[in-house]
Amino acid sequence: MNIWVLISSLILSLGLTASPVHHLPTMILTEDEGVNQIVLEDKVLTGNYQSVPHKIDNKSLGVKVTAESAVVLDLSTGAVLWQKNAEQSRSMASITKLMTALVFLEHNPGWQTTVTFQEIDETNGGTAHILRGETVSVKNLFYTALIASDNNSTNALVRSTGLSHEEFIKLMNQKAQELELLHTSFTGVTGLNDNNQSTALEIAQLAKIAFANEDIKSATSRKTYSFIALSGQAHKIYSTNRSLDDYLKVVAGKTGFITASGYCLVDEIRGNEEQEIIVVILGSETHEDRFQDMKILAAWVLDNFVWS
């Protein structure tokens, strides 16, 4: 570490203002003969901020999770507070739908526009909540796609824009480039495709942007949602995100799973002192493990860092 990095790290540890480019000591989980350790590495971050959370218990070596990769990001500064293989490219499954939602909102035909489900919307994978022939509003499609992670609703939502799947996917990839998510790419809109790839770090950055949108936050913060289709059928859908029922204050979140990705989760969490973090879990071993991994990481970070 050179003298300027050392000085920058000291400034950050004192919670002073530094901008626009700085080095942050980042904790990285490594495994040596099965034992987890935390090592420090300089991570370059950009942007203005007031203060970066600093670790208060340097004797705490962190935690062990089942996830193949994970990251905890401070929402306000973008500082990486904990990571494991955070820059490793992985399949992102239905977390894809956060990008689908962002692109959709730029081409929204109107919330009250109606769509009748067609055979072309149907796909394998997940539970279908709206059936062929039902007519629903775009708003209800949007909520069903994000809350229940419904793939058919996602396809119908994309169709409502008047864009082909190919055109829509091209826009998703263009959006990733605009957001400087250089290791994120899409070949499908639902996340069922193995080739939708990203990293834990870039998913955290995507989630930060997506959850800042009030329409996306409104959907991804709900445990349930009820509506009546224009064709008369009543629907009540339930979130796939069980962490919304947890003791932690989850502001918004999205799950994902396909065989290639393992069990995935991204949550925005608010602490008791209004601290906000993004936790990304990719490749947990089981459905339950992803939520447990998230709780372990969120609790450890909130207990071991101070926001000033």
Q: Count Cβ atoms within 10 A of the Cβ of residue 178 and give its class: 0-12 exposed, 13-18 middle, 19 or more buried.
A: exposed
Tell me: pLDDT of 126 over 90. Answer: no
- Better-scored residue on pLDDT, 49 or 232: 232
Largest CA distance in the chain: 69
Residue 254, marked binder: yes
Model pLDDT for residues 157-213, shown as the tens digit of each residue: 999 999 999 999 999 999 999 999 999 999 999 999 999 999 999 999 999 999 999
Question: Is 159 strand, coil or helix?
Answer: helix
92: CB partners within 8 A, 6+ apart: 184, 191, 196, 197, 198, 203, 256, 261, 264, 282
Active site residues: 94, 97, 149
Rounded to whole angstroms, what are the CA distances from 302 to 103, 157, 264?
Answer: 33, 37, 21
Prediction pTM value:
0.83
Model pLDDT for residues 90-108, shown as the tens digit of each residue: 999 999 999 999 999 999 9
Q: What confidence category does residue 123 fall into, taking pLDDT thresholds of 50, 70 and 90?
A: confident
pLDDT given at position 26 = 40
For the sheet with 262-270, list strands across it: 35-46, 21-32, 80-84, 69-74, 276-284, 262-270, 249-258
Domains and CATH numbers, the chain: 3-87+244-306 (no CATH), 91-198+209-240 (3.40.710.10)
Secondary element (H or E) of residue 280: strand 276-284
Residue with tokens 């864009």: 163
